[in-house]
Amino acid sequence: MKCVISGSFRKFYAQVVELIDEFGKLGVEVLSPAKSEIVNPGGEFVILKSDHSEFIKDLEQKHLDAIKNADFLYICNPGGYVGKSASVEIGYAHALEKPIYSMERPEDGTLAEFIVVKRPSDIK
């Protein structure tokens, strides 16, 4: 299985890395993001050392392309927080009819209607 992890990399990148490791242990390949160092701490849009561009549109398109090639999207959302970019990614995954899972129920009730709360180990 293959997945993409979305969420606020600026706020929750440590948790994203933990999810990358957890999915790896479960045999699930994480297509995006790569486990890498943040090169612009405090930036509005996080750029990782492994990224091959500094252009936000290019980076977001790469993430969207990964969603297209994934079996599911997983949202890293401690406290239920889902930012604007992750909301776009959720809409894209939904349009592609990809399953969407999250750590916690999103604060936004509309988004919550499109997401199933599951731990990585419960996804089959």
Extended strands (E) in the chain: 2-7, 29-32, 72-76, 100-102, 116-117
Find out if CATH 3.40.50 is the number for domain 2-122.
Answer: yes
- Mean pLDDT in order along the chain per 10 residues (124 residues): 92 92 97 84 76 80 96 97 95 98 97 97 92
Model pLDDT, residue 35: 86
- One-letter amino acid for residue 48 of the chain: L
Distance CA 27, CA 7 (A): 21
Other residues' Cβ atoms within 10 Å of the Cβ of residue 65: 13
Model pLDDT, residue 60: 83
Element counts in the chain: helices (H) and strands (E): 4, 5
